[in-house]
A and B are shown apart, each in its own frame.
Chain A
Amino acid sequence: MRKGLAKIRKGYLLVFLVPSLTIIVIFFLVPVVLTFLIGLTNMDYSFKWNWIGLANYLYILKDRWAAKILGNTLFYVFTTLICFNVGMALFISIATTHINEKIGSAFRTIWLLPRITPSTVYALLWLWACRREGYSLFNWILSAFGFPPIDWKLSNPWLIVILVNGFIGTSFGMIIFTAALKSIPEDYIKAAKVDGASTLQIIRHIELPLIKWPIMFVTAYQTLSLLTSYEYILLVTDGGPGLYTTEVWALYSYHLAFAQYGGIVKFGYGAALATILVIIGLIMSVLYWKMFKFRELMLEPKIEV
């Protein structure tokens, strides 16, 4: 009888899981497998499956530009992560929860704008703001301080790329941190105030420790998200100026597979590069899982409700 019930239960579980499993298999698993397989060929627009084994992966080791691009990618991911996706998000969510609720939420809504603006429109706005002419937004600000106009994209490409991506990334962390901050029971804050704690002390000793899990979650999630993002870099600097100045791994793969001037594309090599990215992503996920002890997160709620 118990065994029968257990089987029925498993059956129900399966039925409920099947829809999302199907989506995951079709849209995540199958493409990864396909990409891996294409990475074992040197396919181009002839669309022929010319199997060459691990030659693409060996070539990545010999690729003259791979090291530089890898360095670029790591620099880009961790700088944007620390400065904006986690850093700025934390700052904004803490700041806006400590002031008047209406103003705070209005401010957070404005910070959502970059993320909901269509990517090309957003990139265009940034390109206009960075134009080399004196009337562009940034040069206008510079001139208010008495400096001559500069070509922002040429002289500070990384600054612009990190700002562009950071402004978008901030909103994700901001929403999660705000929700977490708001779910901290009032009692803790009131008790601290009664004990004479200043706002800064409350933030440091009560709020931050209590939103430890959301912070770690956002860090892990955004790292992986930034690792594979290239859309805005493509739109703003296209990996330039110069040779691969702001090129990241995902963009390199895109360029080789889809953006060749002569139409001679390298699907095989691009797929191999993408597979490496998947592997790096998997490794980082496991690392984060172990480092941040996410297993504990899943077990029992850490905040008493």
Chain B
Amino acid sequence: MRKRRGQAKIMYIAILIVGIIIGGVIGYVLAPAKTPEEVQDIMSENEELKSKITQLLEKLGKKEITITIWTIGPDPPSEYRYKNFEIAANMLNSWLEKMGSNVTIKVTGEFFVRPVEWGEYKNKFYLAFKAGEAPDIYLTGHEDIGFLAANDYIIPLDNYVKEYWDVIYYDVIPTLWDAVKYKGKIWGVPQDTEARPLYFRKDILRKLGWSEQEINELPKKIERGEFTLQDLLGVAKEAVDKGLVERGILHRVKEGYDYFQFYLAYGGKLWNPETGKMVFSKEAWKKTLKWFYDAVWVYKVISPNQFSGDWDKDFHGPFTSGEALFLSGGTWHKGEWIQKGLLTEESFKENIGYALHPAGEPGMSPVTLSHPLVYTITKQAEERGVADICFILITLVTDPHINSYHSVQSAHLAILYSQISDSRYTQDWFLKDVAYMLKYTTFIPNHPKWGDYSRIVFNVLRAVESGELTPDEAYNVLLSEIQNTLGDDVEIVS
């Protein structure tokens, strides 16, 4: 009996050791890749910047400065939102070494990726801030600026931007500054922007009998306002009826801002820059809700459960495998599809087309929506005394070549004029092709209560698509909820 117990003990210990070894091997194999060593020393010619930095660091008197940075995709290809800081820190440290300084900058933090979504990421930030553990640099959507600024979470950057204007900030595409302003001050530095195209499958259109010329004309027809949302429904219905695709049109499966494009396409407005209030255009909402209802229940080209779907099974998967004709998505989806191996560059060029979101009615203009992400500096960074360093790091990553690492891999668009002609950026034919969409783009408002507007719209759209509300009922619910919840913060116009 004793011998048996002794043998059992030895066996358990052996299994434990083997398990630990296996775990170690797995951990090693799955270890994340290191940052590219390739450091483009583009800004090293900038002596003025270098001397500014040296003075600043000497003032601080520390040996090693750690900056914490939080960034998010949630799409995986956008990892350069964080990696660029590592590149910048390496660059900065190499200059400091050459200049004989004994200060080093260390960058720490995280790039959050799906399944973490925006809501959780923002939650985490607010709670960390309250616990005194907020990061120094916080990447977020520009629409958050209103709330963050009004509640003292971030610091205004006007003085910094003015000080470093000639370094790089003169080059930022001017409309992007509108996205980062709140009550007249600048609260963040644009990190990227995108456009949201309507993707379509060229191979399905070919099977519908469209000629190659007609297919290539489609984006231009949409741009001229000749192909409207109604025509979109018609083409999608034809494809579904003929059995060529299972679903006509796909859109995002979770809450977001993309579906506001349909409202904008019907001439709706989201905010009034003069009064700073959000706007509710009655006619546009009526038509938008009717369009969604018709798409699901009359034309039957959108699935009633699209808003409860799964990203891979109801969005990426069906479109990339040819089971859907249209997809209302974003430029970054190209980067995502290629990184996930769902498409190759060649198959994308061959079978996927992209255009603006069509106008609602003839005579209106097509639209797209941009959602610039911005780097902000938290109040706690200022309290820790590292706000200056944070801004320098942000300035270093706001560089045409370094930002292009991000743009090209994740298919986001340029934020600097010089980036548009940057060697790395121009290599990407897709980014060049979609650049025209920025002419038609709009932003969501920088209002602290925008989240309420967004949530109410999402609930109503969900109810319309699942058939719980008719378009008229949905419109009444939408109007009353908006009025009850937002009151004076929104202007109701016809």
The interface of chain A, by Cβ under 8 A from chain B, is: 45-48, 59, 62, 64-65, 132, 154, 240-243, 245, 258-265
In the bound complex, residues from chain A placing their C-beta under 8 Å from that of B307 are 242
B254 close to chain A: CB less than 8 A:
yes
21 intermolecular pairs with C-beta atoms under 8 Å apart: A45-B126, A45-B151, A47-B130, A154-B308, A241-B305, A241-B466, A242-B304, A242-B307, A242-B463, A242-B466, A243-B468, A258-B123, A260-B455, A261-B455, A262-B122, A262-B143, A262-B450, A263-B144, A264-B448, A264-B452, A264-B455
In the bound complex, residues from chain B placing their C-beta under 8 Å from that of A45 are 122, 126, 147, 151
Docked complex Cα distance between A191 and B10 (Å): 56
Contact call A265/B123, Cβ cutoff below 8 A: yes
B459 close to chain A: CB less than 8 A:
yes
In the bound complex, residues from chain A placing their C-beta under 8 Å from that of B477 are 64
Q: Which of A48, A245, A263 contacts B126 (CB 8 A)?
A: A263
| Contacts A46-B150, A46-B151; A154 near B119 (Cβ below 8 A) | no
In the bound complex, residues from chain B placing their C-beta under 8 Å from that of A261 are 117-119, 254-256, 451, 454-455, 458
Docked complex Cα distance between A59 and B467 (Å): 25
Closest to A259 in B: B119
Least CB distance, A185 to chain B, in whole angstroms:
41
B83 close to chain A: CB less than 8 A:
no
Least CB distance, B371 to chain A, in whole angstroms:
12
Docked complex Cα distance between A241 and B462 (Å): 9
Q: Which of B322-348 contact A (CB under 8 A)?
A: none
Contact call A262/B119, Cβ cutoff below 8 A: yes
B224 close to chain A: CB less than 8 A:
no
| Contacts A46-B150, A154-B305, A242-B305; A263 near B119 (Cβ below 8 A) | yes
Docked complex Cα distance between A258 and B255 (Å): 15
In the bound complex, residues from chain A placing their C-beta under 8 Å from that of B119 are 259-263
Least CB distance, B120 to chain A, in whole angstroms:
8
| Contacts A262-B118, A262-B455, A265-B123; A243 near B450 (Cβ below 8 A) | no
Contact call A263/B451, Cβ cutoff below 8 A: yes
Least CB distance, A113 to chain B, in whole angstroms:
24
Docked complex Cα distance between A62 and B403 (Å): 49
Least CB distance, B204 to chain A, in whole angstroms:
23
In the bound complex, residues from chain B placing their C-beta under 8 Å from that of A65 are 459
In the bound complex, residues from chain A placing their C-beta under 8 Å from that of B451 are 260-264
Docked complex Cα distance between A62 and B313 (Å): 37
Closest to A245 in B: B466
Closest to B119 in A: A261
In the bound complex, residues from chain A placing their C-beta under 8 Å from that of B122 are 45, 262-263
The interface of chain B, by Cβ under 8 A from chain A, is: 117-119, 122-123, 125-126, 130, 143-144, 147, 150-151, 254-256, 304-305, 307-308, 313, 448-452, 454-455, 458-459, 462-463, 465-468, 477, 480-481, 484
Contact call A263/B308, Cβ cutoff below 8 A: no
Docked complex Cα distance between A46 and B130 (Å): 10
In the bound complex, residues from chain A placing their C-beta under 8 Å from that of B484 are 59, 62
Docked complex Cα distance between A62 and B458 (Å): 19
Q: Which of A59, A154, A242 has the most CB of B within 10 A?
A: A242
Closest to A263 in B: B122
Docked complex Cα distance between A258 and B119 (Å): 8
Q: Which of B308, B449, B465 has the most CB of A within 10 A?
A: B308
In the bound complex, residues from chain A placing their C-beta under 8 Å from that of B125 are 263
In the bound complex, residues from chain B placing their C-beta under 8 Å from that of A62 are 484
Least CB distance, A14 to chain B, in whole angstroms:
37
Least CB distance, B465 to chain A, in whole angstroms:
8
In the bound complex, residues from chain A placing their C-beta under 8 Å from that of B147 are 45-46, 263-264
Docked complex Cα distance between A245 and B254 (Å): 16
Least CB distance, B167 to chain A, in whole angstroms:
32
Least CB distance, B207 to chain A, in whole angstroms:
26
Docked complex Cα distance between A39 and B449 (Å): 19
Q: Which of B122, B143, B254 has the most CB of A within 10 A?
A: B122
In the bound complex, residues from chain B placing their C-beta under 8 Å from that of A154 are 305, 308
Closest to A265 in B: B123
In the bound complex, residues from chain A placing their C-beta under 8 Å from that of B150 are 46
Docked complex Cα distance between A261 and B453 (Å): 12
Contact call A242/B462, Cβ cutoff below 8 A: yes
Docked complex Cα distance between A262 and B145 (Å): 12
Q: A243-B468, A263-B119 are in contact. List 19 more A-B contacts (CB 8 A).
A: A45-B147, A46-B147, A46-B150, A47-B130, A48-B151, A64-B481, A242-B304, A242-B465, A242-B467, A243-B462, A261-B117, A261-B256, A262-B119, A262-B454, A263-B125, A263-B144, A264-B147, A264-B448, A264-B450
Docked complex Cα distance between A240 and B458 (Å): 13
In the bound complex, residues from chain A placing their C-beta under 8 Å from that of B455 are 260-262, 264
Q: Which of B130, B255, B451 has the most CB of A within 10 A?
A: B451
In the bound complex, residues from chain A placing their C-beta under 8 Å from that of B144 are 262-263
Docked complex Cα distance between A154 and B452 (Å): 27
In the bound complex, residues from chain B placing their C-beta under 8 Å from that of A263 are 118-119, 122-123, 125-126, 144, 147, 451
Can you list the 5 inter-chain pairs with the closest CB atoms, starting with the nearest? A264-B451, A263-B122, A262-B451, A242-B466, A241-B308
Least CB distance, B263 to chain A, in whole angstroms:
17
Least CB distance, B408 to chain A, in whole angstroms:
28
In the bound complex, residues from chain B placing their C-beta under 8 Å from that of A242 are 304-305, 307-308, 462-463, 465-468
In the bound complex, residues from chain A placing their C-beta under 8 Å from that of B465 are 242
Least CB distance, A42 to chain B, in whole angstroms:
11
Q: Which of A47, A240, A258, A263 has the most CB of B within 10 A?
A: A263
Contact call B305/A243, Cβ cutoff below 8 A: no
